[in-house]
Amino acid sequence: MPLQPQTGQDISKTVQATFGEAVAAYSQGDLERSETLCAAILRGDPNHAHTLNLLAAVRMNQNRRQDALSVSSRAIQLAPHDEIIWTGRSDILNRCQDPQGALQAADEALRLSSSLAQALINRGIALVALYRFSEAKDSLQKAQEISPELKPVVQGNLVLLHGEEGQYETARKIADSLAIEYPEDHGFAVIRARFSMYTPSISRREEFERTTAAWQARPGLPAPLCSPESMDRTPSRKLRVGYFSSDFKDHPVAHFLKPVLSRHEKNNFETVLYDVTPDSDHVGKEIRSLGDSYHCGLDQTDDELAKTITDDKIDILVDLTGQFKDNRLNVFRFRPAPIQASWIGYSGTSGLPQMDYVVADSYVCPPDADNDFSEKIVRLPNHYLCFDPETVRDEHLSLPSDETGGVVFGSFNNHMKLNTEVIRVWSEILKRVRGARLFLKTGRFENVALRQHVRQQFESLGVTGDQLMLKGHLPRDKHLTAYNDIDIALDPFPYCGTKTTVDALSMGVPVITLVGERWVQRTSYGFLAGMGMEDHCVKTERDYIDKAIELAVDVQRLREMKTLGREKFITSPLCAPSTFTKHLETAYRSMWHAYCTRLYNG
C-alpha cells in the first residue's frame, strides 16, 4: 500500500514548504515532480532523512527497487529513532518481497510509536506474506480502529488475506463492496479481477466484466508510442517478436516458453526478451541465453520501458504474465508495438483495450467464448502451449502397490487453489476410501504456519493428521520423482492445474478434473482430451468424488494406466514442440498480415 510521508518538524520553513509540495506531488502520482523537489532539498541538505524517506518511496513507485532500498537504508542510518522512517522502510521491504525484514521494520516503528496506523498496516501485510493470518487480521483491524479514514486500505488487505486463506467467497464480497464504495480507486477493481480466477461462483461473463472494469477504472490513457508510418509493412519480412514477462525464472511460464524459444525459425523471426522478473534464478539465466536479444527492464518506469520497446522496433509484443503479481501490463497501454498479444501466463482475458490478441485453443476457448474476451481469440490447431518430452523421458516410474487400500491422492498445485470447496470435496474422498492419504506439495509449504493452517482446515472436516503429507519446495528432478508417490492426481477447481497437470501426466499419473465454462476450468480438460482421456473429465462435484473412488479401488487399472499413461502423453499433440512452434509462427504471421492489410486499406 502507498507510503504516507509526513513532514519533519526540525526543518526550515522554506525546506518544509518544498517538502510539503514533494509529498503532495507524490500523493497525486506525479513522481517526476516529487523526485525533482526531493533533489532540490537534498542539494542543500544531503542528510535530510525525511526527504530521503520520501525519495525512497518515489524510487519504489518507479520500479527502481535497488535505488529505493539504498536510499531507504541511508534514511535509517541518519534517523534510527524515527518511526516515520521505519514505517517507510517496512513498506519498501514488503514490496521487495522481504516480509521478514518488513515485519522487523514495522515492529521497530511501533516500538517508537505504538499507535502508528500505517506501520500496523505494513505489519499486517508482512504477516499475511508469512501466513500468520490471525496476527495479520488483528494488526489490520487495529489500524482501522486508530485511523478510520484508512478503511479502504485495511479492507483491501483483508481481501488479500482471505484469498491467501482460500476464503474466496468472503474475499469476493469484500472486494465487491469496496469497488462500489470507492469506484474511483483502480486498485480495488484490479483485486476483484485477479481473485475472479480463484472464485468458484463467478461465471465467464462476470470474469470478463470484472477484468475490463479494472482497466476502465484506471485514470489517464497515455498516447500511443508506436507510429504505423514508421513501420516497414512488408507482409513477408522477418518479424521481431518481443516476449515480456515477470516470470523468467523457475516458473511454469519459463518452462513452457523454453522449447519454443529454441525452435523459432531464425530466418523469419527474431526474438527479444523483456525481463521484469524481480527474483530471477538459474532458469532465468537459461531463458536469457535462448533469446536473440535481451533487455532487463526491472528498474525502468513503465513509460521508459515502453519507449525502449518502441525504439527496438518490435512488431509483435507478447505478454506472458497477465494480471498476476509483479505484472507490468501498464506498459502495454502505451502501445509500444503495433501488435500486442497475450499468451501462456494468464488463463483468461486481460481486459486491456490495447491487447489485440490472446493465443488459445478450442479446448480452453470454445466458440461461445468470443464475446467474453476483449481480445480477438487466436486458436492454435491443438493446444495453446507445448511440452518437451525429452525433459522426462528418462525419469523412472514406479507402479501403485498391489495391496488393497492405501491409495495416495495428490496435488502439487499452488496453495491458493485450495479453496474451501476443494478441501471439502477432497476431504469427502479421503473419508470414503479406506486407508487413503493425500500428498500436497508446494513451495509455500516451507512455511510452518501455512502448513498448519491447511492441516487445520482438513482436520475440521474429519480428516486425520496421518492422512496428510505436506511438503515444500523440491528441486526439479526430485519434484518429478515425487509423482511416483502419487497414485491419482486431484485437480483443484475452479482454477485447475497447468504445469502440475502436465507433470503428473508425464509421470504416468492419472488426473481427475472438474470442467467448467471458464478457461481456468478447462486447461487440464484440454490436455486429457488430447490424450483421449475425456472419461477423467467430469462436470459435477459428485461425479468428481465418484470418479476418484472408482479409480482408487481398482489397483490393477491404476497400474495399467501408469504403465501406458506416459507413452500416451509423450505421443500426444502436446508433446510436439517443433510442430507447435510452427503453428505459433503461423499465428504471428497471420496477425502481421492482418495489420498490414488494415493499414493498406485504411
401 band by pLDDT with thresholds 50, 70 and 90: low
Same domain, 126 and 56: yes
Same domain, 371 and 410: no
Domain containing 78 equals 13-187
Same domain, 148 and 293: no
474 band by pLDDT with thresholds 50, 70 and 90: confident
Q: What mean pLDDT is reported for the chain?
A: 91
Q: What is the pLDDT of residues 134-161, one digit of tens each?
A: 999 999 999 999 999 999 999 999 999 9
| Burial class of residue 309 (count of CB atoms within 10 Å of its CB; 0-12, 13-18, 19+) | buried
Same domain, 178 and 32: yes
278 band by pLDDT with thresholds 50, 70 and 90: confident
**pLDDT computed for residue 538 by the predictor:** 98
- Put the strands of the sheet holding 376-380 in their side by side order: 293-296, 269-275, 239-245, 316-319, 339-342, 357-361, 376-380
pLDDT greater than 50 at residue 192 = yes
In a domain, 204, yes or no: no
In a domain, 302, yes or no: yes
**pLDDT computed for residue 195 by the predictor:** 82
Least confident of 186-190, 251-255, 465-469: 186-190
Mean pLDDT of 454-463: 96
Rounded to 5°, angle at Cα 420 from 460 and 430: 55
Mean pLDDT of 508-515: 97
Comparing 443 with 593, the larger pLDDT belongs to 593
Comparing 254 with 169, the larger pLDDT belongs to 254
How many structural domains comprise the chain?
Answer: 3
Same domain, 381 and 476: no
Same domain, 376 and 470: no
Residue 46 is part of a domain; what is its CATH number?
1.25.40.10
Comparing 493 with 4, the larger pLDDT belongs to 493
Least confident of 189-203, 283-297, 324-338: 189-203
Rg (CA), the chain: 25
**pLDDT computed for residue 11 by the predictor:** 54
**pLDDT computed for residue 363 by the predictor:** 98
Closest CA to 283 of 251, 247, 246, 250: 250
DSSP per-residue letters across 27-86: HTT-HHHHHHHHHHHHHH-TT-HHHHHHHHHHHHHTT-HHHHHHHHHHHHHH-TT-HHHH
127 band by pLDDT with thresholds 50, 70 and 90: very high
Question: pTM for this structure?
Answer: 0.85
Mean pLDDT of 542-546: 98
DSSP per-residue letters across 223-289: PP---GGGS---TTS-EEEEEEES--SSSHHHHHHHHHHTTS-TTTEEEEEEE--TT--HHHHHHHH
Question: Which cell goes with 560?
Answer: 495399467
**pLDDT computed for residue 193 by the predictor:** 83
Same domain, 264 and 355: yes
**pLDDT computed for residue 395 by the predictor:** 67
**pLDDT computed for residue 548 by the predictor:** 97
Same domain, 524 and 584: no
**pLDDT computed for residue 184 by the predictor:** 75
H-state helical runs in 63-167 = 65-78, 83-95, 99-112, 117-129, 133-146, 151-165
In a domain, 205, yes or no: no
Share of the chain above pLDDT 70, in %: 96
Same domain, 414 and 514: yes
How far apart are alpha carbons 314 and 336 in whole angstroms? Answer: 8
How far apart are alpha carbons 104 and 120 in whole angstroms? Answer: 12
**pLDDT computed for residue 532 by the predictor:** 94
CB-based contact 586:422 (threshold 8 Å): no
**pLDDT computed for residue 176 by the predictor:** 87
Same domain, 375 and 421: no
Mean pLDDT of 569-592: 97
**pLDDT computed for residue 388 by the predictor:** 92
Q: What is the pLDDT of residues 411-422, one digit of tens each?
A: 999 998 999 999
In a domain, 287, yes or no: yes
pLDDT greater than 90 at residue 468 = yes
**Cis, peptide link before residue 494, omega less than 30° from 0:** yes
pLDDT greater than 60 at residue 8 = no
Residue finishing a domain among 145, 171, 187: 187
In a domain, 472, yes or no: yes
CB contact burial 277-303 (16+ within 10 A = b; e otherwise): beebeebbeebeebbeeebbbbbbbbb
Same domain, 539 and 566: yes
pLDDT greater than 50 at residue 237 = yes
In a domain, 203, yes or no: no
Residue 289 is part of a domain; what is its CATH number?
3.40.50.11380
Same domain, 382 and 272: yes
Least confident of 103-107, 124-128, 386-390: 386-390
pLDDT greater than 90 at residue 3 = no
Residue 542 is part of a domain; what is its CATH number?
3.40.50.2000
Query: At residue 547, what is the residue type?
Result: K
Q: What is the pLDDT of residues 339-389, one digit of tens each?
A: 999 999 999 999 999 999 999 999 999 999 999 999 999 999 999 999 998
pLDDT greater than 70 at residue 400 = no
**pLDDT computed for residue 2 by the predictor:** 41
